[in-house]
Amino acid sequence: MRKIFISILLALSIATCTDARMHVPPTVKEIENQYRVFNEQYFDNKLPKDVVIDYSESDDMASTMRMRDGRFHIAFNEKFVAAPRIMNLVLLHEQCHVRTWEEPLKHGPLWRTCMLTLDVTGAFRNEMIDNYEEKL
Ligand SMILES: [Zn+2]
């Protein structure tokens, strides 16, 4: 009986600490929506709104490129970003690339400042700590 109780408790704790869709990558539509939310929440809505997002990255977790027409293209690798929490962290990383695109170094001082600003404003805590903004 005790083992059954512990098993049920473990199952419940797993169910409440993980996203049920953990192994289903977010859809492109969901990522685009999250991009909009983060743009408003952390970038004063100053990032371009016409960014192209897809799952065409095959080597790295994600990459950001600028296309000939001037729009940005953020490509994700669904092998690495199936968990929405990871997707959101990688998305914020890529949004800092969009923000600091003119910087010659890939992860130079401007990009780092962007990431540190996200940290100071609580972006990573909000993603990593469940219910971080709720009053307890
Ligand atoms: Zn990067």
Quick one: pLDDT at residue 71?
98
Cα 105 to ligand 1 centroid, rounded to whole Å: 10
What is the CATH code for 2-128?
A: 3.30.2010
Q: What is the pLDDT of residues 57-91, one digit of tens each?
A: 999 999 999 999 999 999 999 999 999 999 999 99
Cα 64 to ligand 1 centroid, rounded to whole Å: 8
Q: Among residues of the chain, what percentage have pLDDT more than 70?
A: 83
Quick one: pLDDT at residue 13?
44
Cα 23 to ligand 1 centroid, rounded to whole Å: 24
d(CA 47, CA 76): 18
Residue 21, C-beta contacts closer than 8 angstroms, at least 6 positions apart: 84
Quick one: pLDDT at residue 135?
85
d(CA 77, CA 59): 7
Q: What is the pLDDT of residues 27-64, one digit of tens each?
A: 999 999 999 999 999 999 999 999 999 999 999 999 99
Cα 112 to ligand 1 centroid, rounded to whole Å: 10
d(CA 130, CA 118): 17
